[in-house]
Amino acid sequence: MDVFHREALAADLANKVLFVAPTSASGSGLFLAAPRRTGKSTFLREDLRPQLEKQGALVVYVDLWEDRRADPGDVIVHAVRAELSRHDGVVKRLARSAGMEKVTVGGVAFSLDRVGLGEGVSLSAALAALSDETNQVIVLIVDEAQHAITSERGNDALFALKAARDELNSSRHRGLRVVATGSNRDKLAMLRNSRDQAFYGAPLVNFPPLGPDYVAWFCERVGLAAPLDPMVVQELFTHAAFRPELLGAAADALRFEFGLAPQDVPGRFAAAVQEQIDASNDELLRVVHSLTPLQAAVLKVLARRGADYAPFEGATLQAYQAVLQAANPAGEARADVPAVQQALLALQEKALVWRAARGVYAIEEAVLAELMEQRGLLADVP
């Protein structure tokens, strides 16, 4: 498949990740925030990883969003085990460290199941053995990293990686860099904002969206019956919140409009992009409109309060009740703590709300709060 590459950005970012100045906090990890579906994961796999490998790093890539049913801590451990399994020398090192001098690789005496959280071989020891055996800096890329703090094992995995980072970045080893990405800046910040977090103080930066070079590449390859003006498409792309899939879907719609005259292509493409935006927004709001009155009230108050949301405080309970009353003055729904807990659980199951293991809640898709505000759905929140 033809993929748009951002080689200059990848090279610049790889340099910053691998070559950390003594006074820099980048050794604590690097956190990149970008909205979902804006090309971040494609960049990580197609550009950053190859560039890091070109510069001599060993890259381990973990996507915590790939299987949302799996515990994020287990996903991280399994990714490390998978990389270890590719290096026979590392397995022998770990076997010897476990007191098995005569182990044969592939035998039953030593299993990589011993590597992990609370197991016989820590992640720190395993990654140190991997770095020493390969004589390479290890870069662990964790995509959708905010998902790690939704479980206790995920939290444990982050602290295990911190211990590994501290050990591997000492003078005895080649080094470990952790690059964490996320689709919500506020949620990603929870991994590095407070002193009780594993990556406290690590840089958090906004990942740059695709720009005019991508739009020019798209216009060259779109293959419609008439060319598209990159300047016009750039405006449409900005309006589409820099989501490439919306441009692609609009182009696909035109390809199947048989009999479309070439002179009508530019105007029809602009209309098709708007249709894709509207369809995406309507799909989000369709789920919102299917909620029970209390679920809708809880979601609205969370969307309005944002980072200041305290789900069970008295003032928040009063806000839920006010929204319920505004929607149905004669209604009997009551916003007590048990009912709110059930509403929050239902919102999580509908993938509208995200919860950290320590009880902090946030809107799953930041764009949903903006859309609810635009449509006037938050007007009744005090």
314-364 pLDDT per residue, tens: 999 999 999 999 988 887 788 999 999 999 999 999 999 999 878 889 999
Asked if residue 200 is part of any domain, the answer here is yes
Asked if residue 380 is part of any domain, the answer here is no
Asked if residue 79 is part of any domain, the answer here is yes
Q: What is the CATH number of the domain that holds 340?
A: 1.10.10.10
**Do 56 and 108 have their domain in common?**
yes
Percent of the chain at pLDDT > 90 equals 62
Q: Is the pLDDT of residue 35 over 70?
A: yes
Name the pairing type of β-strands 176-182 and 30-33. Answer: parallel
The candidate with the shortest Cα–Cα distance to 32, out of 150, 143, 126, is 143
**Do 146 and 248 have their domain in common?**
no
Q: Is the pLDDT of residue 107 over 50?
A: no
**Do 137 and 241 have their domain in common?**
no
**Do 276 and 306 have their domain in common?**
no
**Do 274 and 232 have their domain in common?**
yes
Q: What is the mean pLDDT of residues 23-41?
A: 80
Percent of the chain at pLDDT > 70 equals 90
pLDDT for position 375: 93
- pTM of the prediction? 0.86
Give the start-end residues of each E strand in the chain. 30-33, 58-63, 138-143, 176-182, 204-206, 353-355, 361-363
Of 249, 264, 285, the domain-final residue: 285
Q: What distance, in Å, lies between the first and last C-alpha atoms of the chain?
A: 50
pLDDT for position 276: 97
Asked if residue 381 is part of any domain, the answer here is no
pLDDT for position 28: 64
**Do 191 and 67 have their domain in common?**
yes
Greatest mean pLDDT range, 62-66, 179-183, 227-231: 227-231
Q: Which domain holds residue 160?
A: 7-206
Q: What is the CATH number of the domain that holds 114?
A: 3.40.50
**Do 198 and 226 have their domain in common?**
no
**Do 117 and 154 have their domain in common?**
yes
Number of domains, the chain: 3
pLDDT for position 96: 62
pLDDT for position 100: 47
For residues 376 and 190, the model is more confident at 376
Between 110-119, 120-129, 326-335, the lowest mean confidence (pLDDT) is in 110-119
Chain Cα centroid distance, residue 15: 22
Q: Is the pLDDT of residue 88 over 90?
A: no
Tally of CB atoms within 10 A around 310: 12
Asked if residue 236 is part of any domain, the answer here is yes
Which single residue is written with the structure tokens 């010897």?
96
**Do 117 and 88 have their domain in common?**
yes
Of 206, 231, 254, the domain-final residue: 206
Q: What is the mean pLDDT of residues 263-286?
A: 95
Q: How confident is the model at residue 69 (pLDDT cuts 50, 70, 90)?
A: confident
**Do 140 and 39 have their domain in common?**
yes
Asked if residue 102 is part of any domain, the answer here is yes
Asked if residue 382 is part of any domain, the answer here is no
pLDDT for position 22: 60
**Do 253 and 353 have their domain in common?**
no
Task: Return d(Cα 223, Cα 327) in angstroms, integer.
Answer: 49
